[in-house]
Structure 1
Amino acid sequence: MRPRSVPAAAGRRYVPALVCAAAALLAGCAVPGSGVVEAGGPATVEAFPGAPNRLTLFFLSPDGLITPVLRATGDDAQAPPVPTAQVVAVLLDGPEPQESEAGLGTGLPPSAGPVDVTSSRGTVRVTLPFPVRPLKDDAARQVVCTAAYAEGREDTAAIVLAGSDGTLPAARCGGALPGTAPAR
């Protein structure tokens, strides 16, 4: 069977129809343009949401930046939150082997005793089992941020670190930490 050919004149009849159809599509159906419409601030998303069965700990990345690490505490999503003192004690135990292999570390000394946490009028006092004045800024920030997230008040809690040598001034996770030794 031979293919049927279309006469050249017949093919030229379809060109104007195709041009008209393309023009209609490009015209945008006559929808008028509009200016900028204000609709509020940018969308936000919780990057690492807290949950009763996860701890948010802060370790140091290979380049010295404070890095959040989520650790599962179990499968029970209905479990009560882990107490802040226990979360800080887990931080003091240091990174787990797979976290260390990923380059995470700590600026904190090894734990030599219990951690105590008290909260009063927006201030959280974390008593550590070692002197706090020699802590470098990044090490102190590890504790401040871990305690703030454990309290569920990452931006609002004023955290006071106390140790055998006294206390450091209150600090927030996002702010500068006064009274700590400079990072070396």
Structure 2
Amino acid sequence: MRPLLTRRGRRAARSGLSLTAAALLLSSCGIPSTGVVEAGEAATGIRPAYVLYFVRQDTLLGVRSQVPGTFDIGTAVELLFRGPDAILGRKGLTTELPPLASTPTVRTDGARVSVGLPRGTEPLTRTALSQLTCTIANARLVVSAGSGGGGDTASSTKVTVTIPGAGQAEGSGDTCPGSATAE
């Protein structure tokens, strides 16, 4: 009687079974996937991410960005005005915000955030105002959550942008796109 598999065939079959078992172990840890689950305080040592809003084909997209240092609305605004980095630029993301000669001032009063841009800054387009408003609304939400400010929503944020000699523009977080992200 002839064996069903030769020595080489048995070795190949064992290798295949080993690879299959390894793939199954690596591909599933047995924990079902879920959405976001709110449970207790945030873990320490984990930094919240900024969501900066840039433009691709006339559409606002939120991009998550981890940045060292203190998380605050002013830092989010500064990062936004720097524009997308080279990697995001290659993905087609741009900005409509004008270049700034100096750092903007940011003041918060509850759900209202006031941004003062330096004298000589070009007036903001509607899209630029949306970029700024949505970035601020998201940052305010994260800062509020970190300080125990429950019940806050990004849509409740009202933004006033002042450019000396050029006037004011107003925006609201309720016009921001949902959770579209380009990572």
Correspondence list, 1:61-100, <5 A: 61=56, 63-74=57-68, 82-100=71-89
Code of the aligned partner of 2:102: G
Aligned partner of 2:101 among 112, 115, 120: 112
How far 1:162 sits from its partner (Å)? 1.2
1:56 matched to which residue of 2? 51
- Cα distance in 1, alignment partners of residues 55 and 97 from structure 2: 10
- Cα distance in 1, alignment partners of residues 127 and 64 from structure 2: 19
Code of the aligned partner of 1:163: I
- Cα distance in 2, alignment partners of residues 175 and 53 from structure 1: 23
How far 1:53 sits from its partner (Å)? 3.6
Correspondence list, 1:1-184, <5 A: 52-61=47-56, 63-74=57-68, 82-129=71-118, 134-152=123-141, 153-164=153-164, 165-169=166-170, 171-175=171-175
Aligned residues: 124
- Cα distance in 2, alignment partners of residues 56 and 66 from structure 1: 12
How far 1:133 sits from its partner (Å)? 7.3
- Cα distance in 2, alignment partners of residues 136 and 68 from structure 1: 18
Secondary structure of the 2:97 match is: coil
How far 1:175 sits from its partner (Å)? 2.9
Label 1:145 to 1:56 Cα distance change in 2 as closer, same or farther (>3 A).
Answer: same
Larger-gyration structure (1/2): 1
Secondary structure of the 1:168 match is: strand
1:141-181: CA deviation from partner (whole Å, max 9, x where unpaired): 00011111111141111111111222113x212339xxxxx
TM-score by structure 1 length?
0.59
Code of the aligned partner of 1:60: V
Code of the aligned partner of 2:64: L
Secondary structure of the 1:167 match is: strand
Unaligned runs of 5+ in 2: 1-34, 38-45, 142-152, 177-183
TM-score by structure 2 length?
0.59
Unaligned runs of 5+ in 1: 1-43, 177-184
Quote the RMSD (CA, aligned, Å).
Answer: 2.7
Secondary structure of the 1:56 match is: strand
Q: Is the 8 A contact 2:47 2:66 kept in 1?
A: no
Determine which structure has the larger helix proportion and give its number: 2
- Cα distance in 1, alignment partners of residues 65 and 119 from structure 2: 25
- Cα distance in 1, alignment partners of residues 157 and 80 from structure 2: 18
- Cα distance in 2, alignment partners of residues 121 and 92 from structure 1: 23
Larger RCO of the pair (alpha carbons < 8 Å, separation 6+): 2
How far 1:111 sits from its partner (Å)? 2.0
Q: Is the 8 A contact 1:132 1:161 kept in 2?
A: no
